[in-house]
Amino acid sequence: MGDYRAGLCSAIEKAGVDLDDELFLAGSLTESRNPATMDIDTKSTLEILELINAEDAKVIGAVRAELPNIARAVDVVVERLSHGGRLIYVGAGTSGRLGVLDAAECPPTYNTPPDLVRGIIAGGVPALYSSIEGLEDVPALGEAAVMEAGASNRDAVVGLAASGRTPFVLGAVRKARELGAATIGITCNRPSPLVESVDIAIVPRVGPEVVAGSTRMKAGTAQKLVLNMISTATMIRLGKVYSNLMVDLKPTNIKLRARARRMIQIVAGVSAEDAARALKEADDEVKVALVMLLGHTDAHQARERLRQAQGVVRRAISGGNVKR
């Protein structure tokens, strides 16, 4: 361990990271001991779960306090994506896995191009399945990952680090900022280097974990909630939701085909047979089928209306008989 630590310290020193503060998390709230769980190892199973549940309940309020900053982030992401940019998440460990998860869910849910929302994790694909120590501690690797992803001034880059101190993430957002990308940080510590390194900082202060330093717990939950908000609100703003329905999904399996028909039935007030017929004429595009039925037009004209309306169904039907 001594040789490893020495080698790692040498690599980080060359990258310009302060070891006492950046690497070893001095003063980090997420690394502190939780006074409410000091004797958790003496509790019964039910008592352990009650303590965990009580701590988890604090996450919602911590995220709520950051809603104005989350809204600012969404507005920036929408603006970038509306002009041909991408949303890129960068993280390590649990934070990185959460970013990759959120990115991976966008294509099946909202029919987005595979690269529109992208997740980068320190260590790449192998790090999704197992812990790869050390790579997250080198800022240059974060910089290289952002460069490899082709980040530019059209993109929004979100750095994820529960501690706010992960060198890989700090290197990534620093390089993203140099490239002109909008930068957003999601961390559970303020002050922290990540907060100082980004255009918009989102900091749900969830406090010490049930097990000290186990940031896959409250901090991970907070990050997951924030990511859900950013991607979902962005897709709503981009017109991929009508009412509260995911009308831009691609019906590629039995469940999704049934969901697509059911949405058309509910919104347009038609039979299952009419919904299936409209979906077929629309080449399995739910939004096109809806505009056809609600706007009383054919598939070609429905697509043109959607194009002029920038993909927003409510605009495309132009005052037609909309069921709300």
Q: Supply the residues annotated as catalytic.
A: 105, 136
* C-alpha–C-alpha distance, residues 108 and 249, integer Å: 6
Angle made by CA atoms 63, 104, 115, in degrees to the nearest 5:
110
**Directed axis angle between helix 2-15 and helix 167-178, to 10°?**
20
Pairing, β 87-91 against β 156-160: parallel
Residue 61 makes CB contacts below 8 A (sequence gap 6+) with: none
CA-based nearest residue to 168, from 24, 17, 282: 17
Type of residue found at 220: G
Backbone angles phi, psi at 284, to 5 degrees: 70, 20
* C-alpha–C-alpha distance, residues 316 and 294, integer Å: 10
Type of residue found at 315: R
β-bridge partners, 202: 186
Report in angstroms the alpha-carbon separations of 297 from 107, 219, 268, 302.
Answer: 28, 49, 13, 6
